[in-house]
Amino acid sequence: MTEFKDYIALNTARNCLRYIIRAYKIKEIYIPFYTCPVVWQSIKKEDCKIKFYHIDKNFMPKEELPTEGYILYTNYFGICSKNVKTITNKYKNTIIDNAQAFYMPHRGLASFNSARKFLNTADGAFLYTTKFLNEDFKADTSPKIDKSNKYEFIQNELRLNKKNIMYMSKETTDIISKYNIEAEKEMRLEKFRMLHKVLDKTNLIELSIEENDVPMYYPYLNYNQNIEKQLSNNNIYVEKLWNKMPENTTEGIFQKYLMLLPINDSYSKKDMQRIINIINSIK
């Protein structure tokens, strides 16, 4: 896999972050409120102090952060490459969480992505770092799962929660070696553009795709909560991120009203049109 020759292949994105903290001996790190709780948990496992920062509606930090501080920035939904460039130019110790941006090239002090969030694998993440640990990690083992089966998906998440830093499993390496990664990329971009062409008119956040952006979802912000209900009634799964965001903040608004519309291979282009029709039918 020449695409990943500069990466260390590990079992999960959260363990990539643990590796970085350990390798760079980070004692304190700034992270966004608007991120997955497993990020917090992973940092705490390395006895690293957490300081939170808020983001604005453009997914940029609201406050000035310490120039020399270690900063984790989330490449939200795979569409924030412009923000990544701005932040890494400003803060030299920026770590980029590309768990939702599998195709994003490396920038910053270190970065990592998540193969399993984009490809049909049960584990797998790629880490870019200039510092390496002199530790002997074992390779993970990975079961075959049907990600459309909610029970299997949840059981796999629980399994990964218990895993320490390990190398990517052979099962996942084999799957990725045969995967048509470029076809997956074009499929996501095409579906994103289909939705954006119509939904941009009613989307309360401004979206634009840069050269290195390959979205994981189509993020759609709308205060009409009937939309999510109607999509669910029509078997369209809408993901919401993340729980327990501070109220009366941008993060709280995103958690309550931001709908992440699916553009993965479980949904066809006909499904994209169904999504558009459902949303346009709601007054």
- Please determine, for residue 117, whether its predicted confidence score (pLDDT) is greater than 60: yes
- Please determine, for residue 111, whether its predicted confidence score (pLDDT) is greater than 50: yes
Structure tokens at 118: 């984009």
- pLDDT by residue (tens digit) across 91-109? 999 999 999 999 999 999 9
Report pTM. Answer: 0.93
Q: How far apart are CA 59 and CA 62, in angstroms?
A: 9
Domain boundary among 159, 177, 195: 177
CATH number of the CATH domain containing 197: 3.90.1150.10
pLDDT at 191: 98
Q: What mean pLDDT, rounded, does the chain reach? A: 92
Q: How far apart are CA 141 and CA 274, in angstroms?
A: 38
β-bridge pairing 49-53 and 28-32: parallel
pLDDT at 4: 40
| 28, 49 contact by CB (below 8 A) | yes
Structure tokens at 68: 């020399």
Average pLDDT over residues 113-125: 91
Domain boundary among 155, 177, 199: 177
| 31, 51 contact by CB (below 8 A) | yes
- Please determine, for residue 156, whether its predicted confidence score (pLDDT) is greater than 80: no
Judge if 146 and 232 occupy the same domain: no
Residue 147 binned pLDDT confidence (cut-offs 50, 70, 90): low
DSSP helix/strand/coil, 100: coil
When computed from its CA atoms, the radius of gyration of the chain, rounded to whole angstroms, is 19
- Please determine, for residue 1, whether its predicted confidence score (pLDDT) is greater than 50: no
What residues make up the domain containing 201?
181-281
In the DSSP assignment, the letter for residue 55 is B
Number of domains in the chain: 2
